[in-house]
Amino acid sequence: MNVPKIVKMKGKEKIVMATAYDAPTARILQDAGIDIILVGDSLGNNVLGYDSTIPVTMEEMLIHVKAVRRGADNAFIVADMPFLSYGVSVEEGIKNAGLFMKAGANAVKLEGGREFSELIGKLISIGIPVMGHLGFTPQSLNVVGGYKVRGKATEEKERLLEDASILEETGVFSIVLEMVIENVAKEVTETISIPTIGIGSGRYCDGQVLVFHDIVGLNPDFKPKFAKRYMNAYEEMLKAVSQFKDEVKNRTFPAEEHKF
Ligand code: KIV
Ligand code: NA
């Protein structure tokens, strides 16, 4: 997989992206033939135990990008730029994006539109592909005031369409649309010539992305409307670990076949 191939998939074949934060998960996604692995800053919520993506640092992200690369040597990996790794200055944004590429990423993703045109243009000019992220942007949680569906109000919709076009002109190779009302996500998808990848944005995006933990149901307390649980990993894992506990307690593990 590479950037031109992803762009060419628009209108022909749906693009599938999922998050991974560690080597064994990356291996599963690669073996399943997932088109793009995203090391999302949702690392914060799903793995590090934070209640948002705001506390996630470059240092934390780099550890997990390297782990994902080690688990999936052939995969196309996108690294999410965490809060404050690119908003302070263009220079710092370039330096941090470069660290992700050196750690094994094939591209970076950052939240926002026109306000990051200069940075995105520079990144692309020095060889760092960029994926955009519009609609609900979790790093702006405190400004927006909560998890909100985007694009309902006319001004919001107009701004979204403009930002998507600006990002396309700046040279991003695809755009994540998060929690955008379906008909607006459809309009954005029809307006731009690069792929849109939706999460909670309905049926008409060029691709779909889900968080690994939501796909497998690893977090029993989080079940967003837009996600689909394909298994109940929390229940399955709880059962396995409980069985291990019971078998040690009642002396059925280890058995004859486990001894040296
Ligand atoms: O961090 C993340 O997992 C993401 C996806 C939801 C697109 O940005
Ligand atoms: Na993210």
List ligand 1's pocket residues with C-beta within 6 A: 19, 38, 40-42, 80, 176, 199, 209, 211
DSSP state of 208: E
Q: How far apart are CA 206 and CA 208, in angstroms?
A: 7
Confidence at residue 146, expressed as pLDDT on a 0 to 100 scale: 87
Q: What is the pLDDT of residues 85-120, one digit of tens each?
A: 999 999 999 999 999 999 999 999 999 999 999 999
Of 209, 213, 222, which is best to mutate to test ligand 1, by the most ligand atoms within 8 angstroms of its C-beta? 209
Using CA atoms, how far apart are residues 210 and 124, in angstroms rounded to an integer?
26
Catalytic residues, by residue number, are 178
- Between the CA of 248 and the centroid of ligand 1 the distance, in Å, is 39
Report ipTM for this prediction. 0.99
Other C-beta atoms closer than 10 Å to the C-beta of 7 total 15
- 236 in a labelled binding site: no
- Tens of pLDDT, residue by residue over 140-177, are 999 989 889 999 999 999 999 999 999 999 999 999 99
% of the chain beyond a pLDDT of 90: 98
Find the helix packing angle between 154-170 and 117-125, rounded to 10°. 20
Where are the CATH 3.20.20.60 domain residues in the chain?
3-229
pTM over 0.80: yes
Q: What is the CATH number of domain 3-229?
A: 3.20.20.60
Rounded CA separation 207/80 (Å): 18
User: pLDDT band at 222, cuts 50/70/90?
Assistant: confident
